[in-house]
Amino acid sequence: MIIKLASGVGQYLYLLKRVFRWPDRWRMFMRQFIAELDKQALQSLPIVFIISIFIGAIITIQGKTNTENPLLPAYTTGLLTRETLLLEFSSTILCLILAGKVGSNIASEIGTMRITEQIDAMEIMGVNSANYLILPKILALVLMMPFIVIISDAIGLLGGYGVAVLTDIITKEDYLYGIQYAFNPYYVTFGIVKSVVFAFIITSMSSFYGYHVRGGALEVGKASTTAVVNSSVTILLFDLILTKILL
């Protein structure tokens, strides 16, 4: 078990060594990079919008229910919604969701290229396939993740505001006061730093499992599942470590 884990980590680090090299052709790299920006980041925005708005609304409703106490000020619900979104939801939970969407997409795409010998074809041409295929994916998501997190924060707060406007659970004024009360800008930075690390984990680990697929369609499916499960667990582990270090 330990030997297998050490061997896996070794293979992962060796792959990263091949990934982080200067591209053979910058023109080709930029073409891939722009395609990945669209595929990994822009195409993830609809799900980010939907999840964030619902979670923002749900946190507000549940927050109000759980803080129904005359000793607590009315703005507590807004404050709770903001802190939950900034500290945990928009960085960690969103990245766990993206690990499912983006991670499985990357692992199955690269895995299919492996079993259909497209990666071998690149290697035989003298192309560093790891660099050509994986580097644009990593950089695209790492670069776009801060924007995704900020968008998720904003949309989540909007979801909570929707509850304040459409229901009588909380007043608009209390909610707006709550989300501004004792605001610490460092929490935004904290969320962004975490999400960038998680973006790297999602793309690099999923690429690793896809790149090392051997066999057929069944193995590609297995690699895709393993990529999602292992990157999710690694995200949680790093969430714990980063929270301890940064907060």
Burial label, 235 (beta-carbon count in 10 A; 0-12, 13-18, 19+): buried
- Least Å from the CB of residue 130 to another protein: 13
Q: Which is nearer to another protein, 42 or 124 (CB)?
A: 124
Answer for the pair 203, 33: CB distance below 8 angstroms, yes or no: no
Give the CA radius of gyration of the chain: 21
Interface of this chain with another protein, residues 22 to 81, rule: CB under 8 A: 24-25, 27-28
Q: Which two structure tokens, joined as six digits, stand for 149? A: 């997190």
Residue type for 168, please? D
Does residue 219 sit in helix, strand or coil?
Answer: helix
Whichever of 50 and 217 has its CB closer to another protein, that residue is: 217
- Judged on CB neighbours under 10 Å (0-12, 13-18, 19+), 48 is buried
Residues in 110-129 at the binding interface with another protein, rule: CB under 8 A: 113, 116-118, 120-121, 123-128
Alpha helices in 167-185 (DSSP H): 172-180
Rounded to a whole number of angstroms, the minimum distance from the CB of residue 120 to another protein is 6
Of 137-156, binders to another protein (CB under 8 A) are none
Tell me how far, at minimum, the Cβ of 38 lies from another protein, in Å: 13
Nearer to another protein, 128 or 225 (CB): 128
Identity of the residue, 117 or 173, whose beta carbon is nearer to another protein in the bound complex: 117
Binding site for another protein (CB under 8 A): 24-25, 27-28, 113, 116-118, 120-121, 123-128
